[in-house]
Copies of this chain bind each other. A is one copy, B any other.
Amino acid sequence: VEPSVRLTVDIVIFAVRSGSLQVLLIRRGIEPFRGAWAIPGGFVLDGEGLEDAARRELREETGVEEVYLEQLYTFGDPGRDPRGRVVSVAYFALLSGEGSTLVAGTDAAEAAWWRMDQLPDLAFDHAPILAYALDRLRNKIEYTTVGFQLLPEKFSLTALQRVYEMILGRPLDKRNFRRKLTVLQIVKPLKELDRTGNHRPARLYQLRKLSPEKLRDRGVLMPF
């Protein structure tokens, strides 16, 4: 007879806010780890798909639909949850700068954005999960266009470069960055300008939709 197991999804929700990469965490109101910060998540419901469960939690936590969501890894060590056998399928989500302002409908529990470089102590095995998510994001940004998910639909090239710099944790050269965007043709200039700030306005761009195959054909995507 096969033992049964309780299944949760945990979602590492990233956003770029006020110039830094941040994660949404919630403070636990109940034991175990009462009062500690944790990655948002919850149990998978009866007859519910894993990704569906993740999207539901995401909606409950942030009010946002239609976000980038990707399965990360499944954590199932017997001792990871003091309540018994709980296996967690971890996901990571990327919110665009706009959506990230609303920490709405937050289930009564306290929720807050934390800078990735100033994290609190975390409940369960959530610290390594977060570290792994960041690692995955760092890798993936270099050969896909996931990074664009952290920006609104229209963005300036400088804003895009800031996102890459934040995630990679190092400065990039402005001219090399823009040259790469040009040769890959992944970005489409708009007529609009960003006129905030007392200086020359920046042209706004959009991500040009390309199939992943096309991206691969053009070579590895993003090592600036």
Contact = CB atoms under 8 A, between A and B. Distances in A.
A85 B5 contact: no
A73 B76 contact: no
A220 interface: yes
A47 B87 contact: no
A45 interface: yes
A19 interface: no
A80 to B, nearest CB: 9
A140 to B, nearest CB: 11
A49 B78 contact: yes
Contacts of A74: 50, 71, 74, 89
A43 interface: yes
Interface string A43-54: 111111110000
Interface residues of A, number: 25
A3 interface: yes
Contact of A2 (B43, B73, B76, B220): B43
A85 B44 CA distance: 11
A191 interface: no
B47 A85 contact: yes
Interface in A63-78: 71, 73-74, 76-78
A7 interface: yes
Nearest to A86: B2
Interface string A75-104: 011100000010101000000000000000
A4 interface: yes
Closest 8 A/B residue pairs (Cβ): A4-B4, A2-B43, A50-B76, A3-B46, A74-B74, A47-B78, A5-B7, A2-B6
19 contacts: A2-B7, A3-B44, A3-B46, A4-B5, A4-B6, A5-B5, A5-B6, A5-B7, A7-B76, A44-B76, A46-B85, A49-B76, A49-B77, A50-B74, A50-B77, A71-B73, A74-B74, A76-B89, A87-B87
